[in-house]
Structure 1
Amino acid sequence: MALTLATAAALLDEHHLLREIIQTNQWTDNAEDIAGASEPFSAITYDTRKVAEGTLLCCKGRFKAEYLAGVDDAGLAAYVAETEYSTATHAPGLIVNDVRKAMSLLSAAFYGRPQDELTVIGITGTKGKTTTAYFVQAVLNAYSDGRCALFSSVDNCLDGHTYVESDLTTPESMDAFRMMREAVGNGMKYLVMEVSSQAYKVERVYGLTFDAGAFLNISPDHISPIEHPTFEDYFYCKRQITRHCHTLVLGADCAHADLIRQDASAAGVPVTTFATHDIDDQGTAADITALPDTSTGSGYLVREHGTQVGDFSLELEGEFNAANAAAAIALTRAVGVPADAKAFAALEHVRISGRMEHYESGNMVAYVDYAHNYVSTKTLVEFVANKYHDRNPRIVLVTGSVGDKAVDRREGIIKGAQDRVDRIILTSEDTVHESMTDILNEMKGYITNPHVECSIELDRAKAIEDAVVDARSHADKLTVLLVIGKGEERWIKVDGRHAPYEGDDHVVKRLFGLIQD
């Protein structure tokens, strides 16, 4: 059914969002009082620059009346807002209690509820969302002959094989539903998407129920004045996925798992657990496990309720990635992939640019990864310390932290690394208003281990070069370089603008002589 002023008003009223409809001096709660109420909208947007004949405009965020200059001449049909702008436009306004919730509902309706034509999987957690999403897409693509779309913090894929760099972990609701419609048009049957805490905080997925949802893990992150004021707020936002899915996959070792189970029980949502061990400290077995294959010394055995369903090896190293693979198996099983499906073999070939990229040259080993908070940094450092334990490696970390948000990460990265590394080189990351020098000096101040060397080099490529020079000066032993935070990104945000950057992976490969300058 086409979206019109009348159907939009009815939908908003159904969800208790509509306050009234205002057009100049006419105030009403009946859309039929407004001329043209049954005319279908030709477009929907939240950008006044894209207003054309017949457009419905959603006035979200820090919207100002002056943004409406010229929209009547452009053909604005109606607008949705939390305040009326009858002095700035002659178009009728749907005045609502929450414009972001309204935008999500109206966008889904405008694009014909594409989520109903897809099996949609949502994944949240502090760590592992992207890797798990890629694992799920790989299995579902193998199972459905390439008919799984992807929304991730790295790339979006709407046709099963073409990947385009994404701007947000979870797209704005209007963009998400538009992309879903495009995916359906491309023949996609599945969609797997990362669901950030901000997606629930600012209603990007309002009204969307996942066929299967995953809650991987939780630890403090994104704590800042412009994100989440407290860990409780961050965790509460993430917990919303539990109430908005038909079945939940839960990390057996997830902190506060009891509360998540209570959420699921209250919502009548069944829970499947996954782990990389047989029995936890309470003597409970996870539903799906990925256990090291002791018979071969490599790879993992997968069991479902104690029955072996397969074995696999991974190109992505680390037990944490085995846990992500177990989560992916649980999710794909939840949406109907049979336990004996050959599609699970696709897990073995998944690689994600900028995640656990591994390079070697002489006495040097380097890992390039997106690790950017306490948990991911600690996990990576412990992984390499354990992997290369017999060679007593010198570990050098190259890192920074973003400005203006997630301020808790600055201490977290240092805390997660300083007891296992020999040197930390602090360097530039993305920032808008904050001084990067101030951020790095703050991070340096968190180092309490007297045995850790630390230096600051704002030029990121030069910082990686310094780490390589350090390694070559210790030629008598193995040096493991950990370059984290940016992965394969070819830009750094400086004063809020994207500045070209070679990319951590490219810098390492160049310095290692693996590519030409």
Structure 2
Amino acid sequence: MTLTLASAVDLLKEHHLLREIITPSMWTLDPGRLPETEFTAVSYDSRAIDDGTLLFCKGRFKAEYLAGADAAKLPCYVAETDYSGVTGATGLIVNDVRKAMSLLSAAFYGRPQDSLTVVGVTGTKGKTTTAYFTQAILNAASHGKAALFSSVDNCLDGEHYEESDLTTPESMDAFRMMRTAVDNGMKYLVMEVSSQAYKVDRVYGLTFDVGAFLNISPDHISPIEHPTFEDYFHCKRQLVANSRRLVLNADAAHADLLREDAAAHGIDVDTFALHTAGSMTPADTVASPADADHVDFDITCKGDDLGRFHLAIDGDFNYANAAAAITIARAAGVSPDDAEALHALESVRIAGRMEQFTDTQSNTLAIVDYAHNYASVTALLDFVDERYGARSPHITLITGSAGNKAYDRREEIVRAAQDRIGSFVFTAEDTDTEPFIDICMQMQGYITNKDVASTVISDRPTAITSAVYDARAHQDRFDVILIIGKGDERWIKEHNKHVPFEGDDRIIERLFGLGGNA
């Protein structure tokens, strides 16, 4: 599809977004009064424009950013503000530039979503693992034709993975990547959908063929994200209204409201659940531990016994993610008879998630994970208790929290862990302008259990090294070091810049004398 000035105006009018068209000499609603323009590029970076670019002036855009627009012969911009005083480019003035950007980007890239079966996965925890599991199944069923957008990696050809910047990409980037995926022959796209994706309209106008809602608990509460849990949950719930079919965790908090959302929009619902022996909660897909060690588990889907599964990723909570993935795959058209495809999730490993390392010099286990909120820290500690509780481990939690956002996480991480561990080490995590040390000191101040030790070491490699040396100094005990929040990321965000960082997993491998994870 070709995007022209006229077709852009028509699309904006269709969605009641256009206010007027402004040039230095004219205000109008009729694009026919202006020279026809065919756009050859779209951009939200005023430094990347030319004579064929449609520029979106979003976010904290300033008039001075257009200082070079006329020299670059920019033909048109989309904005909520009139900039005719600083540029001769035609302005499409809209009610909401982010919504306009999503709609016009999809049109510019030829609506690639129409050539894909698009799966959206949301929830407070488990999105990434479920997305990877689902992509593995769909990839196997389609012989390598499933793409992935996740908070860890993006995959546009079913084979190669590149590190991502956002859980859900900006709309323009998302549709550009979808276009690449379609051009690469992809038939499916699995993508994580964050609450911010709906809060700031990154997926506006996109309908998911299958939407999956895993769970909900308070998170991302801050002045720049969600002011309340209600607002956070409301944004998450928009996935239901924008899906053709819903996959729902039957045991999720507020599941009844989510069912009401689906009914209000005429959407069929498939459910999944993690069950223990004797549980009678009905669900279309059930994952249940198969033995006392919870190493294997059985899956039943819509009455079909799909057999026994064994995951490469540890943790009982991942059984529920596996049940979700199988339910999603079934909803997307994968046959229950395709055992090879369904079992493809067994081989999935995600760098930086539940990675376990054993020290060569002491009785110490380290686990590197992306856990970053109350729910995920609780799930991680539940895993440690179940697998290693009989050995009475001394648990050290190395943690920080994101700066300038999600302020609720700081206290909740402490609250989730303080009665279950021996010591905290508070350290650097990603931030905008807040000093690492201030966040660490704030988290330390939330400790109310006088029996838990704590220290602040803002340099992250030093914090990890200190915990390892402390464990080695106590050869008479079994130590578990939990290093959370960063996974395998090779950078730390400081003052909005990515500063190179060795990575939690590589630091542990080096300190433990390992060539790879144990």
TM-score range, shorter chain: over 0.9
Q: Distance in 2 between matches of 1:413 and 1:498?
A: 24
Secondary structure of the 2:47 match is helix
Q: Quote the residue 2:242 is aligned against.
A: 244
**1:223 and 1:405 in contact (8 A); partners too:** yes
For 2:83 and 2:294, how far apart are their aligned partners in 1? 68
SS of match in other structure, 1:90: coil
Return the offset for 1:300: 1.1
Who is 1:394 aligned against?
394
CA contact (8 A) 1:278 1:289 kept: no
CA deviation digits over 1:304-343, x for unaligned, max 9?
A: 1333123210011111111111110011100100011120
Q: Which amino acid aligns with 1:176?
A: A
In structure 2, C-alpha distance between the alignment counterparts of 1:480 and 1:298, rounded to whole Å: 20
* Corresponding residue of 1:161: 159
C-alpha change, 1:376 and 1:71, in structure 2 (3 Å) is same
Is 1:206 paired with 2:209?
A: no
Matched residue type, 2:312 = E
Secondary structure class of the residue paired with 2:476? coil
1:408 aligns to what?
408
Letter of the aligned partner of 1:338 in structure 2?
A: S
1:485 is matched with: 485
1:295 CA drift (Å)? 9.4
Q: Which residue of 1 aligns with 2:286?
A: 289
How far off is 1:278 after superposition?
Answer: 6.6
- Pairing of 1:190-269 with structure 2 (within 5 A): 190-269=188-267
Aligned partner of 1:310 in structure 2 is 307
Alignment-derived partner of residue 185 in structure 1: 183
Deviation at 1:497, TM superposition (A): 2.0
- Residue 449 (structure 1) aligns with: 449
After TM superposition, give the deviation of residue 476 of structure 1 in Å: 1.4
Alignment-derived partner of residue 316 in structure 2: 319
Distance 2:485 2:276 in 1: 33
After the TM superposition, list the runs of 4 or more consecutive aligned residues in structure 1 that deviate by more than 6 angstroms.
Answer: 278-281
Report 1:497-516 matches (<5 A): 497-515=497-515
Change (3 A) 1:162 1:325: same
Report what 1:35 is aligned to.
35
**Letter aligned with residue 441 of structure 1:** M
Q: What is the match of residue 297 of structure 2?
A: 300
- Distance in 2 separating the partners of 1:286 and 1:451: 42
Match of 1:55 in 2: 53
Q: Structure 2 CA distance, aligned partners of 1:278 and 1:477?
A: 32
Greater displacement, 243-252 / 433-442:
433-442
CA RMSD, 1 decimal: 1.5
On the 8 A contact 2:140/2:341 being kept in 1, the answer is: yes
The answer as to whether partners of 1:118 and 1:184 remain within 8 angstroms in 2 is yes
CA-CA distance at 1:280 after TM superposition: 9.6
Quote how far apart the aligned CAs of 1:297 are.
6.3
Query: Does the 8 A contact of 2:326 with 2:342 survive in 1?
Result: yes
Counterpart secondary structure, 2:264: helix
State the partner residue of 1:426. 426
Aligned CA distance change for structure 1 residues 100 and 353 (closer, same or farther; 3 Å)? same
CA distance in 2, matches of 1:191, 1:86: 40
Change (3 A) 1:45 1:418: same
| TM-score, normalised relative to structure 1 | 0.97
Distance across 2 between alignment mates of 1:296 and 1:98: 53
State whether residues 276 and 289 of structure 2, in contact with CA within 8 Å, keep that contact through their aligned partners in structure 1. no
Q: Contact (CA 8 Å) 2:428, 2:436: kept in 1 or not? A: yes
Aligned-pair CA distance for 1:293: 1.6
- Aligned AA (2:86): A
Structure 2, unpaired ranges of 5+: none
> 1:447 is aligned with what amino acid?
I
Matches of 1:175 and 1:280, distance apart in 2:
47
Structure 1 spans left out of the alignment, 5+ residues: none
1:335 aligns with 2:329: no
SS of the residue corresponding to residue 367 of structure 1 reads strand
CA distance in 2, matches of 1:433, 1:24: 39
Distance 1:80 1:280, change over 3 A: farther
Separation in structure 2 between the aligned mates of residue 57 and residue 269 of structure 1, nearest angstrom: 36
Task: Give the aligned residue type for 1:340.
Answer: D
Q: Is the 8 A contact 2:372 2:401 kept in 1?
A: yes
Percent identity over the alignment is 62
Q: Is the 8 A contact 2:146 2:190 kept in 1?
A: yes
Deviations 1:59-112 (A, max 9, x none): 111111111112122121211111111111212111110010000000000000
Pick from 80, 83, 95: which aligns with 2:81? Answer: 83
Deviation at 1:462? 1.3
Partner AA of 1:71 in structure 2? A
Deviations 1:211-240 (A, max 9, x none): 001110111111111111111111110100
> How far apart are residue 264 of structure 1 and its match?
0.7
Report Cα offsets for 1:118-177 as digits up to 9, x if no partner. Answer: 110000101010001110111111111111111111111111111111111100000100
